[in-house]
Structure 1
Amino acid sequence: MPEPVLPSTARTLLARTARVQREGRAPGLVAGVVRDGGLAWSAGRGDVAEPHTDVQYRLGSISKTVTAVAVMRLRDEGRLALDDPLDRHVPGTPFGDRSVGQLLSHLAGAAAESPGGWWERVPGGPLADLRLSGEHVVLGEARRFHYSNLGFGLLGELVARLRGRSWEDVVTAEVLGPLGMTRTTPRPSGRAAQGYAVHPWADVVLPEPEHDAGVMAAAGQLWATLADLARFAAFLLGDTGDVLSPATLEEMAVPAGVDGSSPAWSAYGLGLQVLRVDGRTLTGHGGSMPGFLAGVFVDREEGTGGVSLANTTSGLDVLVPGLLADLRAAEPRVAEPWRPAEPPVPLEQLGVWYWGPAPHALRAVDGGLLHLGPLPGRSGRASRFRRDADGTWVGLDGYYAGEPLRIAGDHLDLGTFVFTRSPYDPAAPVPGDVDPRGWSATAGEA
């Protein structure tokens, strides 16, 4: 069980939650913070039954992340590749040449919504009922991020066809069940909140409809309790069990098409939103359906997560990043103690290396990794590297993500860049060779 937050922290979190519920005029709002694998604090405001952790609300697009987990399981089993064209698994759509990975990261150019009636408010049917055509391809592939509910409906169909059973059955058996999310269901079950629209100019409410979205269910169908959503936050923090490997979860959280080193951005990975808020990187997903708003985001560096569920269509301020900021300010994470560890390469291979005249440091870091980056106070490219089975080191992030690093006695070979022990060492295989006249105080003619 996680250690509860301090009473003063609980007061701060409750004050923020109460303010958001009142100012956003949500009929009911439940929220919590997660650390050490479970809820360390939670509260309900408004018309919320107790225990507030066991009332279902619609998750909306958080369902997309669950769908993405099911897709990545198929990838890890070798049943598909992210570069596979959709037509290989779901033939006959106008998106046949778009890849599975592009659909997961909203880079496939698919229309934002499915054709026909507003799918979030009217019942849906099978894929054939959508009657997709070329007009639903609105952008070229990999041209730009374009959020697509339709794309995730197609991914749900892919999951169903490759598994030979419905999307609902697959995610229940392979994701929700193993994570212990027994109160997460495709339709409301047991105690569940009624969804409402709140009038913009008066304090009156209107019930919103609920239905089976058919093939679009994979984009927003699921209902869950706060306790179950907290379990999903723990999953996003790395408690993946047998559902996914930690490496695959980390892969899902890599922003697509965005430079993650910039100070502020919002991006999308493989079924996960990635946000930069007040200098922190948060991963997770928000959700909305008529009558409901939801959010689950985690700060993996801090080891904390936040969850919220409300039964209102719109108007609620984003709550979770504020809860995480409050928790971080009141009870900052205490780092694990440093302990000596054997480096993954001989000591003589570590230390200063030069890319041309620019000094960089190669050092061992936690997890058996290497880090290559400029010396403090200098600008330049930096990346972490993991050793592959063949002895090559592969970049994990930054400019050198995916690039091979090979370590020789007198140089490093990194994606055609050669790092040497001294600036442009003439004894090393420097591309273009080194001018035999060497370094000089005179910048004469060549």
Structure 2
Amino acid sequence: MTTTQEALLPGTRRALLHRIAVAQTEGRAPSLVAAVVRDGQTVWHGARTSVAGHGPDENVQYRIGSITKTFTAVLVMRLRDEGVLDLGDPLEKHLPGTGAGEATIAELLAHTAGLAAESPAPWWERTPGSLRPELSDVLGEQPLLHPVGRRHHYSNPGYTVLGALVEELRGAAWEEVLRQEILEPLGLHRTTVQPVSPHAGGWAVHPWADAMLPEPLEDLGRMAPAGQLWSTTGDLARFAAFLARGDDRVLSAESVREMRTPAAPAETADVLDGVTYGLGMQIQRRDGRLLVGHSGSLPGFLANLTISVEDDVAAVVLANCTSGPLLGAVGADLVRIVAEAEPRIPEPWRPLREVDPTVLELVGQWYWGTYGYGLRATTDGLLALAPLTGGGRRARFRANGDGTWTGLEGYYAGELLRPVRRPDGSVSHLDLGSFVFTRQPYDPEAPVPGGVDPEGWRGIG
């Protein structure tokens, strides 16, 4: 087990072990293995098994199913960052003749391209990939079931198309590009397309008897970019740290943050659960905590990767059974246990290195109409705008070098904050995307749109 200098407390470790033990027992899993990552390092590993002679650890491979999609999405984002494609490009521009060419790259990544959930029969997860040698065999005669861009509809063929896109633009097989551009740089040496010993066998557990049946292990062929990979808790822990922080050898922190940002509307059934999808990553709010990652399943295997970026805690859970334990709930609980038992210690407050008088002139209290806001200069060189009381629009702003600032998030993302000065150089007001912020509510000395009643504030007599 790899640990940081500050390993988890004994009580935390026992709570984690108890959670996976309950999951393995109640879910009737032949084996269940898990890992927890904190501050970018694996700090705990646990395993439970009922199969004689099978002692899974962080190096034993399990099939990870659709977590493969996140790897494929990273490859596509690398192409975007290199300028090879734009996420708004229609598929037809780079991969013509699929029958789904009007869908954009971003829509394919977010499962909003309108494609079918599965490829035409026979059931692709339990049959050889050789039955679907061409992309047309995966997409079928009618690839689109829904209008492009109108709804989130999870699509395995969609990620097969993205894998084919990677192959077309790289001029190499998907698995080779994956190895060179992600697995080797991140040191994921136990993540492979085909199983490499030691690896778990996949089992089906009888729903009404404590009996097991071995599941077939098929090579998915063309469908590989949607679910082929085998991996370990050790490798997926490192991958989770990358998805939380980025790694310039593979993908910047800004680009992985974009992957974690909602890009698809939640389906009606998911609205109350706060579940949506980013660019190759699932996103949900659970117990007040924002979680990102991905789940996976194939006959004989279940997998889950869950990250709380705010807590800087991630969990990986793998099991070798077709159904049983709810690994999404287990992963969320492992994150919660660590985050609540050992809360993240914040970085110490530090003052600004340099104080810019023109920035100090902007900070303090402002009013948008009668709404009070505070504008603060932060150590990272940004301006932070937030309501003085209650909820409301808030955002950070990055300096543009010309006296203006650009919003980084929320309602004001991309919007321009411009201090407007009087002839004597003093600040009259702030123009934020045409909204006027003044030092006093409806300041009569500022050019408030619509004007301010010259009689001023009054009571009702």
Is residue 2:334 matched to residue 1:329?
no
Corresponding position of 1:81 = 86
For residues 366 and 282 of structure 1, the distance between their equivalents in structure 2, rounded to whole angstroms, comes to: 27
What's the TM-score once normalised by structure 1's chain length?
0.93
Is residue 2:150 matched to residue 1:171?
no
Q: In structure 2, do the counterparts of structure 1 residues 323 and 362 end up closer, same or farther at CA, with 3 Å as the change threshold?
A: same
Letter in 2 for 1:62: I
For residues 314 and 137 of structure 1, the distance between their equivalents in structure 2, rounded to whole angstroms, comes to: 30
Task: Describe how 1:415-434 pairs up with structure 2 within 5 A.
Answer: 415-434=433-452
Corresponding position of 1:4 = 7
Task: Describe how 1:128-143 pairs up with structure 2 within 5 A.
Answer: 128-130=135-137, 132=139, 135-143=142-150
Letter in 2 for 1:113: E
Corresponding position of 1:107 = 112
Q: Structure 1 residue 384: deviation in Å?
A: 2.2
User: Contact conserved, 1:17 with 1:319, CA < 8 A, in 2?
Assistant: yes
Task: Describe how 1:429-440 pairs up with structure 2 within 5 A.
Answer: 429-440=447-458
* SS at structure 1 position matched to 2:135: helix
Question: Which residue, 190, 214, 227 being the options, matches 1:183?
Answer: 190
Q: In structure 2, do the counterparts of structure 1 residues 117 and 402 end up closer, same or farther at CA, with 3 Å as the change threshold?
A: farther
Q: Structure 1 residue 388: deviation in Å?
A: 4.2
Letter in 1 for 2:116: A
Corresponding position of 1:43 = 46
Letter in 2 for 1:367: D
For residues 8 and 109 of structure 1, the distance between their equivalents in structure 2, rounded to whole angstroms, comes to: 48
For residues 72 and 343 of structure 1, the distance between their equivalents in structure 2, rounded to whole angstroms, comes to: 37
Give percent identity, aligned residues only.
Answer: 54
Letter in 1 for 2:39: D
Long gaps (5+) in structure 1? none
Q: In structure 2, do the counterparts of structure 1 residues 388 and 189 end up closer, same or farther at CA, with 3 Å as the change threshold?
A: farther
Letter in 1 for 2:366: W
User: Contact conserved, 1:20 with 1:316, CA < 8 A, in 2?
Assistant: yes
Is residue 2:218 matched to residue 1:203?
no
Corresponding position of 2:33 = 30
Corresponding position of 1:393 = 405
User: Contact conserved, 1:127 with 1:157, CA < 8 A, in 2?
Assistant: no
Q: In structure 2, do the counterparts of structure 1 residues 412 and 95 end up closer, same or farther at CA, with 3 Å as the change threshold?
A: farther
* SS at structure 2 position matched to 1:363: strand
Moved more, 379-388 or 333-342: 379-388
Letter in 1 for 2:448: V
User: Contact conserved, 2:407 with 2:414, CA < 8 A, in 1?
Assistant: yes
Moved more, 416-425 or 76-85: 416-425
For residues 388 and 123 of structure 1, the distance between their equivalents in structure 2, rounded to whole angstroms, comes to: 55
Question: Which residue, 333, 354, 371 being the options, matches 1:358?
Answer: 371
What are the superposed Cα offsets for residues 20-45 of structure 1, whole Å, 9 maximum, x if unpaired? 00100111110011113322111111
Letter in 2 for 1:7: P
Q: Structure 1 residue 434: deviation in Å?
A: 3.1
For residues 391 and 289 of structure 1, the distance between their equivalents in structure 2, rounded to whole angstroms, comes to: 54
For residues 249 and 55 of structure 1, the distance between their equivalents in structure 2, rounded to whole angstroms, comes to: 27
Moved more, 139-148 or 185-194: 139-148
Corresponding position of 1:414 = 432
User: Contact conserved, 2:111 with 2:264, CA < 8 A, in 1?
Assistant: no
Question: Which residue, 144, 148, 158 being the options, matches 1:151?
Answer: 158
* SS at structure 1 position matched to 2:189: coil
Long gaps (5+) in structure 2? 421-426
Q: In structure 2, do the counterparts of structure 1 residues 9 and 131 end up closer, same or farther at CA, with 3 Å as the change threshold?
A: closer
What's the TM-score once normalised by structure 2's chain length?
0.90
Q: In structure 2, do the counterparts of structure 1 residues 257 and 365 end up closer, same or farther at CA, with 3 Å as the change threshold?
A: farther
Corresponding position of 1:311 = 320
Is residue 2:289 matched to residue 1:277?
no
Q: In structure 2, do the counterparts of structure 1 residues 16 and 343 end up closer, same or farther at CA, with 3 Å as the change threshold?
A: farther
For residues 122 and 366 of structure 1, the distance between their equivalents in structure 2, rounded to whole angstroms, comes to: 56
* SS at structure 2 position matched to 1:64: helix
User: Contact conserved, 1:58 with 1:289, CA < 8 A, in 2?
Assistant: yes
Q: Structure 1 residue 133: deviation in Å?
A: 5.4
User: Contact conserved, 1:363 with 1:370, CA < 8 A, in 2?
Assistant: yes
Question: Which residue, 60, 63, 67 being the options, matches 1:58?
Answer: 63
What are the superposed Cα offsets for residues 47-93 of structure 1, whole Å, 9 maximum, x if unpaired? 37446111100111111111111111110000011100011111112
* SS at structure 2 position matched to 1:42: strand
Letter in 2 for 1:441: G
Q: Structure 1 residue 142: deviation in Å?
A: 2.4
Task: Describe how 1:233-312 pairs up with structure 2 within 5 A.
Answer: 233-257=240-264, 265-312=274-321
Letter in 2 for 1:203: D
What are the superposed Cα offsets for residues 178-208 of structure 1, whole Å, 9 maximum, x if unpaired? 0000110011112111111111001111111
Moved more, 335-344 or 101-110: 335-344
Question: Which residue, 376, 380, 383 being the options, matches 1:367?
Answer: 380
What are the superposed Cα offsets for residues 215-244 of structure 1, whole Å, 9 maximum, x if unpaired? 211111110011101111111221524111
